[in-house]
Structure 1
Amino acid sequence: MNHVLHGLAVNPSLPPELIDRLITIADPDLSSEFAARTDLTPTQLTTLAARGDEIAVQLAYGGRLTADHVDPAVQPYAALALLDEGAGRLEWTPFLATHPTTRVREKLAACPDLPPDVVRTLAADPDIQVVAELALWTTSDTAARLARHPHAEVRRAVATNESTPRAVLEMLISGKGLPSAQRCLVCDHEETPFVHESSCQRPECDLLAGASCDGSHESTVHEIQRMALLNPATPIDAAVRFADHSSMLLRSALAMRPDLPPSVGAHLAMDPVPGVRADLAENPAIDDALIRRLAADRGHDVRRRLAHNPNVPLDVLTELARATRIGSTLLPRIAAASPQETAQLAGSRDPAVRMLVAQRRDLSAAIRDALAADPDAKVAKSVAPHPGLSDALLRVMVARHGVQVVARVAANPGASPTLLAEATRHQPPVRKVFREVARHPCAPASALLACLTDRQARPLAAAHPNLPPAVIAELLTDNDDRVAEAAASNPSLAPTVMSVASLGFVP
């Protein structure tokens, strides 16, 4: 692999004549890089599309290949990509539905708006994975018919499909009203009873760990129930029957339902498995009383997940902030806080609470600046990347908190070139500073040269347009291929150097 050529392929400043030259010699990997460009001519697009189905698929999904340019007999996957995007021709579908390659038929089964005769052909396909794929995406009527399919894997896909009628989902989850399944993926290949061990070393085996069948297809039946529980179209009256099921996975699926009744939620709050209670805690459907009850739950991850519930009351959230490691993330309830609530949070005596609101990036100037001047380093660190902070305030933050905030200050979009250069000279040095500066659009050449001394920041700096052209050219021969490729992608690379490099040489 020529890393310099791959860098040139994505360089936005690459001259048109060099694009032509490189497309002519491009292998599939390099062709894929060119296919991602947005400045290609129709002739260049046609040349790339002819390189193979993989490149044509990429162009089709990118909206730069039309049905006029595709022959489904030659490039079936490109035709499928256009059909998937709604830009293909329905007259292709009968041919593709009987294609000798199973993968082609399987991908067709996932395409929207297929003609009825093609749907019938796919529903009768000899490969069960094709039928299952159809069941996963098809319309309500076809899903209802496929729910009676003798293979359990097809029924599992029907249980996942949100277009499946509610009455059919209720039958699938209860196992009543449908004829028993005759086969599953396990008994298709193994003598029953059989349990697939997680330590299976057979290279040809693609069964999931724990897959089992004793003639009742129990592991697939379990998956049918789980998929139906996760399907919002399944009637809640049928779902709540699983509140005491022996399977933790099924109880967890129930705990996540957006239509969970309060009484069932209260029951699941007493579940012996913390993972079930944690799934329940993040569910926006639970009421205030249950939220407060779960706030006292010390089970693994329960309170952290509760903090991510968009409906958690602010007084509960502030208590969670004191007792739980939430991390540096913007919580949904904080993002939705009103101006009055935001001001209240920002004025809290507890730095853990102020740190929560400091994660917002739409704060008023007064609140933003007050948090930037906060005496607690964690609060200042959280607000440091907020747009609009003045250079003076950013400098005060660094002077007050030093290594604890300097990297986040360097990530501020308004950080001046002078401040970024000073950050790279900070003592003691902070390695993350170099990566942040190397990403910053305002980084000056002097700071980028300093970033080249850091192994992780070096590729980022090599791609920065503010790096001097002579240095960029030198980096084309760097021992680190990532650096050489990044330098070749740099839009400030001199056109004459690009021309030489495009021939496979470097200056």
Structure 2
Amino acid sequence: MRRRDLLQAIGANPSAPADVLLRLLADEASEPWDRAAWVMWRGEFPEEVVDAIVAHPERRIRMALAENGLVSGETRARLIDDPGKGVRLCLAMGPNLFRIQSPSLPEWAQRRLIDDPDEMIRSEALGSYYTSRELLAGLAEHEDAHKRSAACQAWDLLGAAARARLLADENDDVRGRAARYASRDDPDATDIYIDYIARSDSPSYSYEDVLKQALIHRSTAERLAREGTSTERAAMAGNPHVPKEIAQSLATDDEHRVRLMVASRPDLSEDERATIDYHVRVEDRLDPLFWACELVNPVEIRRFARSANILIRRSLAYNKDLPQDVIDLLGADDDFPVRILLCENQPTVDGEVVLDVFLNWKSVVSAALQGHPNFPRGQLAARFADDPDEHKRWLIYNDPTAAADVVLKLSHDPNVNVRRSIAGHPNLSPERLAELLRDPDDGIAERAARNSSLPPEAMRRLLDELDVSDLQGRPSTDAA
């Protein structure tokens, strides 16, 4: 395990030169290939390393590059003719980095994927978030019904004639999908979509979201409020286009989520909300209200930011048009998830709010907050170097201004987690890094091997010690 992790760590080191990375593609370094994480997560590669990965006989290595959302689309597109279906499938699906927007493949490569001989690859490419909407719009008159259906995803780019053709398409699935996208502007299309879902054999995960936003005939709203499933009733109750009196008829519904959606309408006063039996708990994971995310009127935004309805305040945290005074207000909100969502979505949140949320949020995804633009990196060593809280001392690896003597002291900290984090600090001396590479704790040695201040010669010596010497690729057993 230690050898595999050290090899992986060297590959992930941003200072690793081309000759070191090439050695990691050799047969002697094959242990971490089951994850190939250094290929998947590294943000840049020397050209000769890209050449070696593209031509590598091990499919997992090539798949890792295809999934790497930190490299350019042009680099990933070099795999477009790969003989392995799995590699092309990764290209078609696109990178899936947590809350990181990755570059798209060039349009010529996207076109190749939507025309791939394999049906699964074509399907994934047509549905990928990264596929050009202009490219999809150009498929509105394609002979293939799947491609005409995909064109509906670019509904706002289609002209009136193209929309009308898709809504009247000979294929039922194309008509249903067209109606889905037309429903925000056309209540007749909403009826068509509801009928389509009712006779569909497969569930539609977008159905509830469509009903939350669609224009809808009064008669249809009354029918669904009276006879619909709990999912339909909840969606109707929260839809601002549904007349208020119809939604309020659901204010005593047996289902809590229906009552919650009634209480979360923008056309209710705070007094009216207070008459409804609803609650939002800290641990509840709820979808944001689309109308609150899209508000642009600052007067309305300020009013709803003071609502007693926690779901409305949580939803506002997603809004990209919040005035700074509202961001500051929500930064002091009593509801912890409001502050979490604010830090995740607003780049101008005060750094102390971001730090407080990070320190108190017991979740693996809290680590992402360390990348917030206002995270107080340059203050960490001065504030926490002698703090009795080990979690705060651990955090100092984020402070690039930490003095070398402070970093050295923390590399001998009594807490192993602090020593592990500090082993990655760039202000450690090469001599201390050499010692940490041989630390009996595997986590410390691995972090030292990832440290960007580790000299390339030290990486080469470590590979020598790990018996990684030749540059010959592993014999192919897995071309497809």
- Do both proteins adopt the same fold according to a TM-score greater than 0.5, normalized to the shorter chain? yes
Alpha-carbon shift at residue 453 of structure 1 (Å): 1.1
Q: Give the aligned partner of residue 433 of structure 1.
A: 392
Aligned mate of 1:415, from 357, 376, 379: 379
CA deviation map 1:364-398 (0-9, x unaligned)? 9xxx9xxxxxxxxxxxx859769xxxxxxxxxxxx
- The corresponding residue for 2:18 is 16
Cα deviation, residue 489, structure 1: 0.8
Equivalent in the alignment of 1:37 = 42
Question: Which of 54, 60, 67 is matched with 2:63 structurally?
Answer: 54
Deviation of the 1:54 alpha carbon: 1.6
Contact 1:266 1:290 in 2 (8 A): no
> Superposition pairs for residues 265-304 of structure 1, below 5 Å?
265-283=247-265, 286-287=266-267, 289-295=268-274, 297=276, 299-301=278-280
One-letter amino acid of the counterpart of residue 170, structure 1: T
2:167 corresponds in structure 1 to 144
Contact 1:295 1:316 in 2 (8 A): no
Task: Quote the offset at 1:72 in angstroms.
Answer: 6.4
- Structure 1 residue 132: deviation in Å? 7.5
Q: For the structure 1 residues 291 and 325, does the alpha-carbon distance in structure 2 shift closer, same or farther, using more than 3 Å as the test?
A: closer
Superposition RMSD in Å: 5.4
In the alignment, which of 217, 226, 244 is matched to residue 244 of structure 1?
226
Q: Distance in 1 between matches of 2:214 and 2:413?
A: 53
DSSP-derived class of the 2:14 partner: coil
- The structure-2 alpha-carbon separation of the partners of 1:412 and 1:327, relative to structure 1 and needing over 3 Å to count, comes to farther
1:307/1:320 contact within 8 Å kept: no
CA contact (8 A) 1:278 1:302 kept: no
User: Given the alignment of the two structures, is residue 448 of structure 1 paired with residue 410 of structure 2, yes or no?
Assistant: yes
Deviation at 1:227, TM superposition (A): 5.3
Partners of 1:278 and 1:306 within 8 A in 2: no
- Residue 166 (1) aligns with residue 147 (2): no
The question of 1:466 aligning with 2:424 is answered no
The equivalences for 1:110-189 within 5 A come to 110=127, 111-112=131-132, 113=135, 116=139, 119-121=142-144, 123=146, 140=163, 143-145=166-168, 148-149=171-172, 160-161=180-181, 166=186, 169-175=189-195, 181=199, 184-185=201-202
For the structure 1 residues 85 and 236, does the alpha-carbon distance in structure 2 shift closer, same or farther, using more than 3 Å as the test? farther
Query: C-alpha offsets along residues 56-81 of structure 1, whole Å, 9 cap, x if unaligned?
Result: 52368732327676326666447746
Shift, 1:490, TM fit = 0.7
In the alignment of these two chains, the number of paired residues is 399
Say whether the 8 Å CA contact 1:451–1:458 is kept in structure 2: yes
CA deviations on 1:299-336 (whole Å, 9 max, x unpaired) are 23189989996788878866849xx8999999579x94
Query: Structure 1 residues 86 and 16 mapped into 2: Cα distance closer, same or farther (>3 Å)?
Result: closer
Q: 1:501 to 1:295 in 2, by over 3 A?
A: farther
Partner of 2:122: 105
The residue type equivalent to 2:398 in the other structure is R
SS of equivalent to 1:422: coil
Q: CA offsets, 1:179-227, max 9 Å, x none?
A: 995x725xxxxxxxxxxxxxxxxxxxxxxxxxxxxxxxxxx4x868535
Q: How does 1:253-402 map to 2 (within 5 A)?
A: 253-283=235-265, 286-287=266-267, 289-295=268-274, 297=276, 299-301=278-280, 320=308, 336=322
- Tell me how far 1:279 sits from its aligned partner: 3.4
Which amino acid is 1:58 matched to? E
Structure 1 gaps of 5+ residues are 124-129, 186-219, 369-380, 387-410
Q: CA deviation at 1:256?
A: 3.8
| Residues 12, 42 of structure 2: 8 Å contact kept | yes
The match for 2:456 is 495
Structure 1: which amino acid aligns with 2:48?
T
Deviation at 1:229, TM superposition (A): 0.9
Give me the whole-angstrom Cα distance separating, in 2, the residues matched to 1:452 and 1:469: 22
- 1:503–1:260 Cα change, 3 Å: farther
Deviation at 1:258, TM superposition (A): 4.9
1:226–1:249 CA contact under 8 A, matched in 2: yes
Judged with a 3 Å threshold, the aligned counterparts in structure 2 of structure 1 residues 62 and 169 are, in CA distance, closer, same or farther, namely: farther
How far did 1:491 drift? 1.2
Q: Which position in structure 1 is the counterpart of 2:368? A: none
Normalising by the residue count of structure 2, what TM-score does the alignment of the two structures yield?
0.62
**1:274–1:301 contact (8 Å) kept in structure 2:** no
Distance in 2 separating the partners of 1:72 and 1:117: 29
Identity of aligned residues (%): 18
Alpha-carbon distance in 2 for matches of 1:65, 1:345: 42
Letter in 2 for 1:274: H
Deviation at 1:103, TM superposition (A): 1.6
**Is the contact made by 1:136 and 1:160 (CA closer than 8 Å) also made in structure 2?**
no
* 1:64 aligned to which of 36, 51, 74: 74
Which amino acid in the other structure matches residue 12 of structure 1? Answer: P
Paired residues of 1:275 and 1:300 also in contact (CA < 8 A): no
Distance verdict in 2 for CA 1:117–1:46, change over 3 Å: farther
Query: CA, structure 1 residues 134+262, in 2 after alignment: closer, same or farther (shift >3 Å)?
Result: same
In structure 2, what is the Cα distance between the partners aligned to 1:145 and 1:306? 33
Counterpart amino acid of residue 63 in structure 2? E
